[in-house]
């Protein structure tokens, strides 16, 4: 999982979901698990 300043590009990847957990913003992707990231 990458820690990134901006998730704007990752949320455009097909299959991405933006999820809010524990006060942080995550991108999860079941189609392409390499596109997992956390905003930080």
Q: State pLDDT tens for residues 4-33.
A: 999 999 999 999 999 999 999 999 999 999
Q: Which residues pair with 24 in a beta bridge?
A: 21
Position 28 scores a pLDDT of 97
For residue 30, give the DSSP letter: S
Position 6 scores a pLDDT of 95
pTM value is: 0.83
Is the Cβ–Cβ distance between 11 and 26 less than 8 Å?
Answer: no
Looking at the structure of the chain, the number of domains it has is: 1
Position 31 scores a pLDDT of 96
Position 40 scores a pLDDT of 85
Q: Which residues pair with 16 in a beta bridge?
A: 29
Residue 21, domain extent? 2-39
Position 25 scores a pLDDT of 97
């Amino acid at each position: 999982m990458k820690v990134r300043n901006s998730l704007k590009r990752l949320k455009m990847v097909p299959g991405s979901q933006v999820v809010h957990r524990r006060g942080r913003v995550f991108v999860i992707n079941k189609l392409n698990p390499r596109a997992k990231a956390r905003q930080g």
